Structure 1
Amino acid sequence: MMRIRSLSLVMATTLSLSACSNNKVEPKSGFLQSYSVLTERHSPSGQPVLGWVSPALARARYTQVYLAPSQFYPNAVPTERIPLSTLAGVTDYYDAALRLELGKVLHIVNKPGPNTLIVRPAITRVATSTQGLRFYEWLPVTLVAAGVSTATGIRDQDSEISTEVSFEDGSTGEVVAEVVRKGTGVPLDNDKQILKADDIKVVLDGWASDLSQSYTALHK
């Protein structure tokens, strides 16, 4: 009995720490110009983000936007579970979602110039991770069962993705805003299931919508 309790305690501690870390937005990629200016905020949809907005952006009245193609930073390496088709699908869909949403508030152009806001998006992480425990799984017996499920790879997996976006003035190249955020897509059944772009499209749609709403709110 003591052994079961000890095992339960170890599992509880490890998995609870993992759950806490998964909820925290942490910039690490080096894509953005400066991370020291970022502060904790909430997106229009209520999700936690790290962001910064220069007073220059608040004052500027951009009439158009240039969307730089989204990229993986650092370069993503395909794996059996996250193949090249998934990686390409993620950037393609991210570009399309941003074009759709930002096109509602600004005219989209093919190159930077005066009165133009440049948006440079990067995908900094695409991964899967074992889901944290649900509240009813903290009981000792079910906790042991959950640990066995995790060890054998049959526990549900979260599909995770992170982004960093730089916003720049089209005339000067000055960075006028930055944002870092992460999201979780459709759960996967186990640690063998291949992650597809469709599994995280809902996250990309939400990011694009929030960016559009944030710009609109800034200039009301």
Structure 2
Amino acid sequence: MKNSHSLALVFAASLSLTACSNKKVAPDMYSGFLNDYSTLKEQQTPSGQTILSWTSPALATSRYTQVYLTPSQFYPQVQPTGRIPQSTLSGVTRYYDAALRQELGKTLPLASGPGPNTLVVRPAITQVATSTQGLRYYEWLPITLVAAGVSTAAGIRDQDSEVATEVSLEDGSTGEVVAKVVRKGTGVPLENDKQVMTADNVKGVLDGWATDLSQSYVVARKASLR
């Protein structure tokens, strides 16, 4: 009886670990920021990450000479909390914009507004949250599961800092959507469920998103020239 109980606990722990390590955005987490999610497919980014995205052939064949970045926004609107204050929310969008400007500016000149031959990039932050980390492999043993359960109940387990984005790339003349991206990431963990999350916790994630977006466009353009 004890063995079967232990196996059940180990199985539950493995499920917890799997669920917490999955970085793909589930359909029930789509925010509604994008006009259509039915065309999204799993794709590999230049950095090797798996995301949901769609690209129209028009993105590669259109001769965009500049890029316009609309200020990132929270969609839907979020309210600050004690653990994620307004300073964090503002810091996230401000840093995301800066990272996108820096990386996209390496690929195309930055424009002051939409227009002919302009690729418009509209980014949204669709989630900023914290969650209790899943059990690590060394916590699967029955004797350590008890301690892990106690630490979770007491709120002293590390907390993941999570952020998600949806990005629409559009033609500056027609407004036609030429690409879409949906992804999420996990930043620097918090020590417990009392620590305040800051923009610093997810800056590495935002940098990675910006780099991948810029490099993905480069890859698409090169493919069209072959």
**C-alpha distance in 1 between matches for 2:52 and 2:7:** 35
- 3-state SS in 2 of match to 1:96: helix
3-state DSSP of counterpart to 2:120? strand
Residues 26-45 of structure 1 aligned to structure 2 (within 5 Å): 26-27=26-27, 28-45=30-47
- Could you tell me which residue of structure 2 aligns to residue 55 of structure 1? 57
In the aligned structure 2, how far is the partner of 1:21 from the partner of 1:124? Answer: 18
Q: Could you tell me how far 1:17 is from its partner in structure 2?
A: 4.2
Which secondary structure state, in structure 2, belongs to the residue aligned with residue 206 of structure 1? helix
Within a 5 Å distance, the mapping from 1:118-157 to structure 2 comes to 118-157=120-159
Cα shift at 1:89? 0.2
Counterpart of 1:219? 221
Deviation, structure 1 residue 164: 0.2
Secondary structure of 1:219's aligned partner: helix
TM-score normalised to the size of structure 2? 0.92
Matches of 2:207 and 2:177, distance apart in 1 = 24
1:6 Cα deviation after fit: 3.6
Unpaired segments ≥5 residues, structure 2: none
1:12 to partner: Cα distance? 4.5
Is the contact made by 2:17 and 2:135 (CA closer than 8 Å) also made in structure 1? no
Q: For 1:41-190, list aligned pairs within 5 A.
A: 41-190=43-192
CA contact (8 A) 1:16 1:133 kept: no
Once the two structures are TM-superposed, the CA of residue 11 in structure 1 deviates from its matched residue by: 7.3
Matched-pair contact (CA < 8 Å) for 1:8–1:144: no
Distance 1:187 1:8, change over 3 A: farther
Please list the CA deviations of residues 19-60 of structure 1 after superposition, one character each: whole Å capped at 9, or x if unmatched: 326513224100001100000011111111000000111211
> CA–CA distance in 1 between the matches of 2:76 and 2:117?
30
Q: Distance in 2 between matches of 1:34 and 1:21?
A: 27
SS of alignment partner, residue 107 of structure 1: coil
The alpha carbon displacement at 1:144 in A equals 1.3
Could you tell me how far apart the structure 2 residues matched to 1:198 and 1:214 are? 25
Q: Report the CA distance shift for 1:81/1:7 in structure 2 as closer, same or farther (over 3 A).
A: farther
CA distance in 2: counterparts of 1:88 and 1:152, whole angstroms: 30
Aligned twin of 1:199: 201
Q: Distance in 2 between matches of 1:78 and 1:34?
A: 28
Change (3 A) 1:211 1:67: same
Distance in 2, matches of 1:204 and 1:116, equals: 23
1:25 partner amino acid: V
Classify the secondary structure of the residue corresponding to 1:212. Answer: helix
Q: 1:211 to 1:181 in 2, by over 3 A?
A: same
User: Do the aligned partners of 2:9 and 2:145 also contact (CA within 8 Å) in 1?
Assistant: no
CA RMSD of aligned residues (A): 1.8
Preserved contact between residue 14 and residue 140 of structure 2 (Cα < 8 Å): no
How far apart, in 2, do the equivalents of 1:138 and 1:88 lie? 39
Distance 1:26 1:198, change over 3 A: same
Aligned equivalents of 2:217 and 2:57: distance in 1? Answer: 13
